Copies of this chain bind each other. A is one copy, B any other.
Amino acid sequence: MTDAIEFLTLRPDVLARRAEIVADLVGLLPPECLIHEPRELMPFETDAFVSYRRMPLAVALPRTTDDVAAVLGYCHRNGIPVVPRGAGTSLSGGAIPQEDAVVIGLSKMNAILDIDFANRTATVQAGVTNLSISERVSGDGFFYAPDPSSQLACTIGGNIAMNSGGAHCLKYGVTTNNLLGVTMVLVDGTVITLGGKALDASGYDLLGLVCGSEGQLGIVTEATVRLIAKPEGARPVLFGFDTSEHAGACVSEVIASGIIPVAMEFMDKQAIEICEAFAHAGYPLDVGALLIVEVEGSEAEMDLMLKSIVEIAGRHQVKTVRECQSATEAALIWKGRKSAFGATGRIADYICMDGTVPLSQLSHVLQKTGEIVARYGLRVANVFHAGDGNMHPLILFNANDPKESADAEAAGMDILRLCIDAGGCLTGEHGVGIEKRDLMRHQYAEVDLAQMMAARSAFDEGWLLNPSKVFPLDGRAAR
């Protein structure tokens, strides 16, 4: 990856006042809530995108909404850019700072404030990890549905910024479908509340707008999310096919038939081999593509749904159908899938693309993806949420080889253009961030982008919040 990323012009006045700004922040927060020594700032230089690094001016670690308001208000009055940060697991560079920016990290705001089973809601601070909500309510038979692979680390605040999904979102929807309300600090330090515990809110759906806005409209400090009752049972089943095309066509037909499994994950041969070598999940190695289909409900319901899916798979030359025999086996099957990115990282450098396509285009896009990557002389592993058309091609390359690095990046952009041209979009769940901002022009007409930027300006006229992300950096988008 090249480090030659273009950021918005840094503010020389801010850079010149660095010491003064740090001194001011020291006055706003207790010592354990402020980081400003270069060596201690290093963990905040990048996120899970890791292609770019920038040393921020300082990192504030507020404990309360009031702390966030104090820091934001100060930065706003002084024209200092602010980059919000959850756990830094963004795969699109959404949390990468710039040298003139103060990072506001939400890691200390990790309290679960309220569990309300009568209304099936949890209210949490934004720095709470995704998984800890489900862990807290599991004993009472509930869970929080969106389940990114990084759920052990990633925070609800980050999930809201990126509208995160996960393997089980096919049935339960992504973050926006499970978010009921937030407390948010606007760029000038004003605290607003959006939504609440009731089904709907009066007036405009600003909550919907905020979810997925990548930290550019405000900093969410508290969130109320929906809790869902755990199903009576759940059963993952492995379906092996000779080719990716057959597996893709099977997915399309299952969804078109109206059946909604709770998850429908796809792995091609490369991905199967990588994951099996790492997790020993028991995946069949003699197939060209694998679907992990999970159904849930009573035994009778699961039997019924699986019967229909097996019938459809039969029409697409399914080679292997394997129901798992125990909870241990089920956990292993999911461990294999959820560790796909980590396992791939052991054998090669990779970049993970995140395009979404209409289901009818799945086979076509898979085939073309293979052709694109082959044209660059590289390899690809496909492992993704097939049921909702959210593709994750992992392009393998050697980061020490500048040509391979550039080729991998170019292939990735070609694949995303392919997704857009097939009627899909740039991102299913990872966000646009820095990675894909220039492709926004390929997805959107000038007028569409201009309207998004107008919405942003209605919250943050000077683009102080998470600048350099989401929008292409030409004159119109920049301040």
Contact = CB atoms under 8 A, between A and B. Distances in A.
A359 B388 CA distance: 31
Contact of A202 (B201, B359, B432): B432
B451 A229 contact: no
A455 B209 contact: yes
A87 interface: no
A452 B193 CA distance: 11
Most buried by B among A200, A206, A258: A200
Contacts of A259: 229
B358 A203 contact: no
B389 A198 contact: yes
Interface in A386-439: 388-390, 423-429, 432, 436
Interface string A102-120: 0000000000000011111
Contact of A199 (B190, B228, B390): B390
B229 A200 contact: no
A165 B470 CA distance: 33
A186 interface: yes
A335 B193 CA distance: 40
Contacts of A258: 120, 141-142, 228-230
A120 B176 CA distance: 21
A376 interface: no
Interface residues of A, number: 83
A227 to B, nearest CB: 9
Contact of A458 (B118, B304, B454): B454
A443 B195 CA distance: 10
A152 interface: no
Contacts of A252: 118
Interface in A146-187: 163, 165, 173-174, 176-177, 186
Nearest to A117: B256
A192 B119 contact: no
Contacts of A202: 425-427, 432, 436, 440, 443-444
B454 A459 contact: yes
Contacts of A389: 198-199
A198 B357 contact: yes
Given A141-B258, A424-B198, A428-B199, A204 B358 contact: no
A284 interface: no
Nearest to A119: B358
A449 to B, nearest CB: 8
B206 A427 contact: no
A255 B120 contact: yes
Interface stretch (A34-42, A78-86, A295-303): A295-303
A471 B204 CA distance: 10
A132 interface: no
B116 A360 contact: yes
A73 to B, nearest CB: 13
A312 to B, nearest CB: 13
A255 B440 CA distance: 41
B212 A204 contact: yes
Contact of A455 (B186, B206, B298): B206
A388 to B, nearest CB: 5
Given A118-B256, A193-B445, A454-B459, A470 B205 contact: no
Interface of A: 116-120, 141-142, 163, 165, 173-174, 176-177, 186, 190-194, 196-206, 208-209, 211-213, 228-230, 252, 255-259, 297-298, 300-301, 304, 356-360, 388-390, 423-429, 432, 436, 440, 443-445, 447-449, 451-452, 454-459, 470-471
14 contacts: A119-B256, A197-B423, A199-B388, A200-B425, A200-B428, A201-B425, A202-B432, A202-B440, A204-B213, A204-B470, A297-B301, A298-B304, A301-B304, A451-B458
